[in-house]
Structure 1
Amino acid sequence: MPDIEHLRKRISDFCDATGVPGFLAGVRHRGEETVLAYGTANVATGAPMREETGFLFGSITKVMTTTIVMRQVERGLLDLDTPVVDRLPEFRLTTPGAAERIRVRHLLNHTSGIDADLFFPEAAGDGALAAYLARLGRECGALFGAGERASYSNGGMIVAGRLLEVVTGLPYPELLDREVFARCGMIDACTSAERAVLRSTAVGHFADRTTGAVRPTGLFTLPQTWGPAGGTPIGTVADLLAFGRVHAGDGTAASGERVLSAESVTRMRTVTHDAGTPNTPPIGLGWLVRTLGGTTVLTMSGASPGGVAVLVVVPEHDLVFAAYGNDARALSLHDELLGWLTGEFGEVRAPSYTQEEVDLKGFGGTYRSNQLRIEVRVVDGGLEESVTYEPADEAQERVFTGFAGGAFTAPPMRYVPVGEGLFAPAGVPLENLPAHYLVSYHGGAEFRSAGGRMTRRVAV
């Protein structure tokens, strides 16, 4: 078992130094399990963060959605190479022919090209995902052809959720409860705020950029249309450790119940796409697949309004790590703790970069994705990027600003070249630079990628 006292002290020191209200962490290693809690779950009420406090899973849910898909593959109800429209004829995109080329596996490894990263239509009840799919076909297109590239896709995973509903005849929340929560032993997990408030539950917080003072989020969950991508499922660190145990081993839960076959577990942790750039990890099915400390590390982070969770699985060492901070600034602690844990098994070399001389002709222009525009200019041997959120309607703007903690405004950012098509923020130390700070350009600068999300250069 890793040094739990070191973990406990690092959490308390970080929260005290940064003002992050509360943090939860859990480690499961070779059958031993420890959960730690620190700070406050909700600054408005003063409720303490407890070991059993629940929180939004966010995009960690994507691995759960993939797990349900793989269960249907094992049953012969789905095939990863089947075109989605064969089983979901109503699936459409505004880009002609794009939907027809998307196969089931493209939904799970973020290579579908579906341009819906900021698409937040609201609907509730058992018909929420059907309503999402109907609007998707009228309002969203494709960034690239299926399988050509990878761009982190909330929309792809939501389509997978709707596909599951059609194939099984059950609404997604019920599927998640039956196929994952119950089978994995996630006894406190649920998919509704109404159930979550009956027990200790943390809420996210936003820090004032000037004073550092934090306030609780005014938006707890995202619309039910985002369930399969992580908008609604809630649970505890112990729940995530129970789910991670299934994927750290051969697909068997602590109870002895088989959740997945060993073959399916292996398929999910096998790299299916590698963009070859440090800011986009290789992708399996559901999982991001990294090599750290000389071993394979499966990860998935989960952002929620004012909070961030992470699940890490190291199969070779039967290790599962889960954490949640109720302030997005906790992401840096997640990164640090991931390096510390994997450093227990081998040397983890922090990435370092140096500024390079690169021909910047061709990088400038306008890059777009769903409701996002990025203007790129060549300035003083580097790039200057201006990001603008362009909401499709007032309802979606309300959801996104609730998620972001307020109106989306950002000053222009300067970047310096640190490799061919690779850029780092100007003025920051280039040693030990976290990968999510980097921006990369692909295909002759036809695409820009940040945080694994692509925008495409357009003519104006």
Structure 2
Amino acid sequence: MNADALNTTATKIRDHIAAACESDAIPGFVAGIHQGGEQVVVAHGLANVATGAPMLEHTGFLLGSVTKVLTTTLVLQQVDRGVLDLDAPVVKYLPEFGSVSGKILVRHLIGHTNGIDADLYFPGDKGRDALKAYVEGMPSSTLFEPGEQLSYSNGGMIVAGRLLEVVTGLPYPELLARDVYGPVGMTDSSTSAEQAILRSTAVGHFLDLETMAPRPTTMFTLPETWGPAGGTPIGTIADLLAFGRTHLAGGVSPSGTRVLSAGSTALMRQVSFDMESPNTPPIGLGWVLYPFGGTTVLAMSGASPGGVSLLCVIPEHDLVFAAYGNSPGAIMLQDRILQLILTEHLGIELPRLVTGDEQDADLAPYAGTYRSNQLRIEVSVVDGQLEEVITYEPADPSQERIFTEFAGGTTSAPPQRYVPVGPGLFAPAGYPLEAFDGYLRLLLVSYHDVRDGQARFRNGGGRLARRA
């Protein structure tokens, strides 16, 4: 790898970050690339607007759902050791899980094909038994039969975390530190606010609608029950790059430590389910497999209260990209930077994902009410478009408090119009179609499994809701 080429790309990224932080009210941003033995990290802005602490190259941040790839790595370590069987029912190891579904296999948990309807289930339990309490109290309803569909699943990863605790005898945070942080060389990673406060750490921000300025979040982490899904782990760009390099190298860390077998590392990259819809990339185990033309990007993004992280591994080009911004809008900047890396740095031509609209589409099959955990989505046909109204229906005051803090105080949104752009596929009105060529394809909405003139499922952001 030519170091000059990487430094040139880093300069372009730095300019993009500076401009976006100014125009999009992102307090701070940090990003890094590793390719061919060369590594650059750039940082800009503030880690916390209340204190004025700068965002530094080594500033820590919440990994969010990027943790799911770490949890998957932990599960496959136990498969490598013969402790877990991917094709065994979860109840073989967790008998109490049978109240949800005895048909869910271990691979369904880490492949997002489990159907568990608990995506917004936020119990506030703490301590060693937090995950045990989560599994004991989680909703028993499912969205679909295991393996039938694909729906991004926080609940599945949390159950996988509890499964790991049972078979190893260690609490999830201790297991993560021992079997991933340590051997990978994630030297600045931790799993608690108490540890993070001892070093430079960013906090999330939300836009204050009165002052139109960023304000720090009132919630640093999600509850400890959400640890395996990304609620509590904290790390740095260098840590994420080291983890990505481990997967580039077939499971061998930068220091030469074998973290995962080559077979299991490869298995995580293999397609385990494909919805065959532009807004939902194929899934491996842990990794989402984004197709960009003929190039596959292994990716996972992670929302935290007022922040968003991203980890991308591009095996074909021996490249790892990681980024974090402490505002929910940072995902837009991350998407632009990823496309810059793909097109200008790697010379990849990105085909148009959505090519046009469906002028004569029959919208009647998609109208109706769809539900998932604590969400109701009303879909109606208005002026040749679909209009969606999403309502949050908290199960209890505790759930409402946690979700409200996680969302920055805003739990409702105005009706959103969608225009048809393909069979069963819709784009938010007013967006140019090229906006969906990159990571933001997740903004598209699709409908699936039409029976007797009605779609059974709505898919938004990779999450399914079932027709009521």
TM normalised by structure 2 equals: 0.95
Aligned counterpart, 1:184: 184
Aligned counterpart, 1:128: 130
Pairing partner for 1:34 from 9, 16, 40:
40
1:73 to 2:76 alignment = no
Give the 5 Å matches for 1:1-150: 1-2=5-6, 3-93=9-99, 99-136=101-138, 139-150=139-150
For 1:28, what is the secondary structure of its paired residue?
strand
Q: 1:271 to 1:58 in 2, by over 3 A?
A: same
Contact 2:363/2:381 (8 A) holds in 1: yes
Contact 1:351/1:432 (8 A) holds in 2: no
Deviation at residue 349 of structure 1 after TM alignment = 2.4
Deviation at residue 293 of structure 1 after TM alignment = 5.0
The one-letter code of the counterpart of 1:70 is L
1:406 to 2:409 alignment = yes
Contact 1:352/1:432 (8 A) holds in 2: no
1:446 to 2:456 alignment = yes
Aligned counterpart, 1:266: 266
Contact 1:93/1:142 (8 A) holds in 2: no
Deviation at residue 345 of structure 1 after TM alignment = 4.0
Deviation at residue 407 of structure 1 after TM alignment = 3.4
For 2:134, what is the secondary structure of its paired residue?
helix
1:205 to 2:205 alignment = yes
The one-letter code of the counterpart of 2:463 is R
What is the alpha-carbon distance in structure 2 between the residues aligned to residue 209 and residue 422 of structure 1? 32
Deviation at residue 212 of structure 1 after TM alignment = 3.1
The one-letter code of the counterpart of 1:21 is P
Deviation at residue 209 of structure 1 after TM alignment = 4.8
Cα deviation digits, residues 177-200 of structure 1 (max 9, x gap)? 001000100000000000000110
Contact 2:354/2:421 (8 A) holds in 1: no
The one-letter code of the counterpart of 1:448 is R
Contact 1:279/1:439 (8 A) holds in 2: yes
The one-letter code of the counterpart of 2:25 is G
For 2:365, what is the secondary structure of its paired residue?
coil
Deviation at residue 163 of structure 1 after TM alignment = 0.4
The one-letter code of the counterpart of 2:399 is Q
What is the alpha-carbon distance in structure 2 between the residues aligned to residue 211 and residue 428 of structure 1? 27
TM normalised by structure 1 equals: 0.96
For 2:405, what is the secondary structure of its paired residue?
helix
Contact 1:22/1:49 (8 A) holds in 2: yes
Contact 1:56/1:232 (8 A) holds in 2: yes
- Give me the CA root mean square deviation: 1.2
Structure 1 unaligned residues grouped into runs of 5+? none
What is the alpha-carbon distance in structure 2 between the residues aligned to residue 210 and residue 152 of structure 1? 34
The one-letter code of the counterpart of 2:214 is V
The one-letter code of the counterpart of 1:27 is I
Deviates more, 1:182-191 or 1:208-217: 208-217
Deviation at residue 89 of structure 1 after TM alignment = 0.5
The one-letter code of the counterpart of 1:373 is R
1:420 to 2:434 alignment = no
Cα deviation digits, residues 378-421 of structure 1 (max 9, x gap)? 11111111100000011111111111000311111111111111
What is the alpha-carbon distance in structure 2 between the residues aligned to residue 310 and residue 107 of structure 1? 21
1:341 to 2:341 alignment = yes
What is the alpha-carbon distance in structure 2 between the residues aligned to residue 257 and residue 428 of structure 1? 46
What is the alpha-carbon distance in structure 2 between the residues aligned to residue 323 and residue 403 of structure 1? 20
Deviation at residue 128 of structure 1 after TM alignment = 0.4
What is the alpha-carbon distance in structure 2 between the residues aligned to residue 351 and residue 61 of structure 1? 28
Contact 2:36/2:318 (8 A) holds in 1: yes
The one-letter code of the counterpart of 2:449 is G
Contact 2:292/2:350 (8 A) holds in 1: yes
Contact 1:140/1:370 (8 A) holds in 2: no
What is the alpha-carbon distance in structure 2 between the residues aligned to residue 383 and residue 49 of structure 1? 41
For 1:225, what is the secondary structure of its paired residue?
helix
Contact 1:29/1:319 (8 A) holds in 2: yes
What is the alpha-carbon distance in structure 2 between the residues aligned to residue 74 and residue 121 of structure 1? 32
Aligned counterpart, 1:392: 395
Aligned counterpart, 1:275: 275
The one-letter code of the counterpart of 2:418 is Y
The one-letter code of the counterpart of 1:412 is P
Q: 1:156 to 1:253 in 2, by over 3 A?
A: same
The one-letter code of the counterpart of 1:61 is T
Contact 2:47/2:202 (8 A) holds in 1: yes
Contact 1:58/1:309 (8 A) holds in 2: yes
The one-letter code of the counterpart of 1:201 is T
